[in-house]
Amino acid sequence: MAVRDPEATKARIFDAAVAEFARHGIAGARIDRIAAQAKANKQLIYAYYGNKSDLFTHVLGRCMVDLAAAVPIDPDDIDGWMDRLLDYHAAHPELLRLLFWEGVEYGTDELPDEPARQAHYARKVAALRDGQERGVITDAMPARDLMFLLVALAGWGAAVPQMRRILVGSADSDGEHLRSSIREAARRLAAPRT
């Protein structure tokens, strides 16, 4: 008789849900496919995570926590932070796809976990604001705007790889030229006023 391992089952469901949502979005994802990929029954998915929207919120929330833990913001080393962010997105393109699908689904409507997400980003913005107060990065714009611009710089190429290929071309297949340009743009955006 096989021994049940609820944590292993949850992990398989989570991994299958990440892949399904990244590929098909919230509306296009199917619990049947997640269950088949995870080798679990649908009832377990509902028992562990609730409905499909709840599962998506859980998946994206955990992916965001993983990113925050792996790549903490460092206003004293914007170049290094951008490199780590670019590396993370290259290794985990599903995160930006999940954020893209969330934007398609919710638009400007409030997200189910918006207060928690705001608190998450408030801590990052506070780190940038601290860098502004210490004079290591610019105070020419609000820290929240700077955060938005830096995150956009780091993520856009991975979020829309077709535009990266069209604009940058396949000659930059290793991405070093574009990475260098992104670092330079981030450096200029964040540079303290003289």
pLDDT value, residue 52:
95
CA angle 83, 87, 90 (to 5 degrees): 140
Dihedral sign, Cα of residue 168, residue 172, residue 174, residue 180: negative
pLDDT value, residue 3:
61
- Which pTM does this prediction carry? 0.88
What are the tens digits of pLDDT across the range 139-173?
999 999 999 999 999 999 888 888 888 988 865 55
pLDDT value, residue 50:
93
pLDDT value, residue 5:
84
pLDDT value, residue 172:
54
Domains defined along the chain, listed by start: 6-190 (1.10.357.10)
The token pair that represents 181 in the structure block? 């340009």
* Regions of the chain with pLDDT less than 70: 1-3, 170-175
